[in-house]
Chain A
Amino acid sequence: MITSAVNHYYRSSIGRKHLVALTGLLLCGFLVGHLSGNFLLLMGPDAFNLYGHRLFSLGAALYVIEGGLGLVFLVHLGLALRLTFENYRARGNQKYAAKKNTGRGTTFMSWSMPWTGLVLLVFTILHLINLKFGPYYTTSVEGIEMRDLYRVTMEYFQDPLHVAWYVFAMICAALHTAHGVASAFQSLGLNHGRYYPKIKAFSYIYAVLVGGGFAFISVWAHFQGV
């Protein structure tokens, strides 16, 4: 029955859930780092541009980190998509005529996971195109020539449509992580009556702080002007 326990693990429902959970938590960790960096925007152009410059000067190491992050993102996306399609199939062809949720289980957040996830996928692609691979301005801080990422960011957020889309995406991120963080702990087997309510609370706090933090900066940038 068991050809190889470990081999079986990566193909099983629970094994893949573990991987989705683990990659999800890693991405949540990345968001915290990204947001901390964004807060440097508030400190002015030089602080933000220096931060960007220091990151770029990591050289090859940065590519390794970015590659790892991309891989984590793709594993999370690919496995979650597959699990979603399997779940859709598992429901069968005949749907309920009058299915109602009890109100004690499924929430809008848990129901919308695939949709908020897709919004975040589209958002990430556009975000990379518009900002990371966006206009290349240069500036000089303390005599060092570097990319003026502050200007790229501030210019991007002058368009109210960009801000609206960004805030919408961050609401999706908050909804996604509010369910996702606690669910990841559950998937990894970390659910106990004693601490699970705290994990759930942490999940909501994380979602509000991170989603709200990013959204705040986009709105601030809009009103700050270039």
Chain B
Amino acid sequence: MASGNMSLNLKIWRQKSGEDQGKLVDYQVQNVSPDMSFLEMIDVLNEQLVRKGEDTIAFDHDCREGICGMCSMMIDGKAHGGFKNTTTCQVHMRHYKDGDTIVIEPFRARAFPVIKDLTVDRTAIDKVMMAGGYITASTGNAQDGNAVLIPKPIADEAMDAAACIACGACVASCPNSSGMLFMGAKISQLALLPQGKPESPKRALNMVQTHDNLGFGNCSTHAECEATCPKGISIEHIARMNREYLKAAFTYYDKKRSE
């Protein structure tokens, strides 16, 4: 690892709890190596805070290899820093220069209340997923998987949608705080595949209804979500969801629907 040689000015959102009125606090962090990841840079700052006996900065993180979708933060006003197809943990400090000022804020949306500092509650995403982002049909064993023929372009398209890590960057960067991209990705992925098709109408109806009830906004095709998605998911998947939803609303038939 190269020796640490950068000194950065950070403006970090500090908020003790959901009820607390947060504010941006200035910090200086020394000995930042260009080889560090963005989260490691915050680790260094937190170590400095621990030595001073101050409260450390709370932030979400887990795998630190860009696949878990936990590291949610707005870096200089852009979700995950706004680098192409990159999560916060994969942003490296070589993108910054000595003496730079970086503003770090939590993801903001009514559906994502702040828990503490940069940590937000993204349960709303899980609730949308629980409303239908799965299949319950028996798909058999491994050989049955091979027996179901799926054209390669369709499989590729479904895989592109399946790349969603439900990080919430789409919601955070959307001027309307809409969750259409992650929901569209899941509805689209499962609607493309034979195993997902049988439940597709019910899935579209239930997920959209849950999404709306949780206080996410409506899509107005800014496509800011597509631009900041760390997995490069296209708004074509939102269009496919819109089609699935239209079909479902006018053709879904279930005599036993009770609630």
Contacts and interface: CB of A to CB of B under 8 A. Distances in A.
A13 B226 CA distance: 19
B210 to A, nearest CB: 8
Nearest to B201: A5
B6 interface: no
A83 B13 CA distance: 30
A187 B240 CA distance: 10
Contacts of A13: 178, 180, 208, 211-212, 216-219
A17 B105 contact: no
Contact of B236 (A18, A87, A196): A196
Interface size class of chain A, counting residues whose CB lies under 8 Å from the partner chain: 35 or more
Contact of B217 (A8, A87, A94, A189): A87
B43 to A, nearest CB: 23
A1 B227 contact: no
A32 B127 CA distance: 45
A57 interface: no
B88 interface: no
Contact of A87 (B11, B74, B220): B220
A188 B112 CA distance: 28
A105 B223 contact: yes
Contacts of B250: 5-6, 9
Interface string A164-200: 0000000000000001001100111111110010000
B225 to A, nearest CB: 7
A190 B234 CA distance: 13
A191 B248 CA distance: 18
B109 A92 contact: yes
A110 B74 CA distance: 22
B78 interface: yes
Interface in A68-99: 83, 86-87, 89-99
A110 B224 CA distance: 10
Contacts of A92: 108-110, 112-113, 177
A189 B209 contact: no
A111 interface: yes
A89 B215 contact: yes
A52 interface: no
Contacts of B103: 97-98
Contact of A15 (B108, B226, B236, B249): B249
A102 B173 CA distance: 9
Contacts of B154: none
A192 to B, nearest CB: 7
Contact of A14 (B202, B206, B208, B226): B208
A86 B216 CA distance: 8
Contacts of B219: 13-14, 17, 187
A83 B220 contact: yes
Interface in A44-67: none
Contacts of A93: 110
Given A90-B111, A190-B239, A16 B218 contact: yes
B242 A17 contact: yes
Nearest to A90: B217
Interface string B78-119: 100010000000000000000000010100111111100000
Interface of B: 11, 13, 22, 24, 74, 76-78, 82, 103, 105, 108-114, 131, 173, 175-178, 180, 201-202, 205-206, 208-209, 211-212, 215-228, 234-236, 238-243, 245-246, 248-250, 252, 254, 257, 259
Interface of A: 1-3, 5-6, 8-9, 12-18, 83, 86-87, 89-107, 110-111, 113, 179, 182-183, 186-193, 196
28 contacts: A1-B205, A2-B209, A5-B201, A5-B248, A5-B250, A9-B245, A12-B249, A13-B211, A13-B216, A14-B219, A17-B219, A87-B175, A89-B110, A89-B215, A89-B217, A90-B111, A92-B177, A93-B110, A96-B74, A97-B13, A98-B74, A98-B103, A102-B82, A105-B224, A107-B222, A187-B242, A190-B239, A191-B238
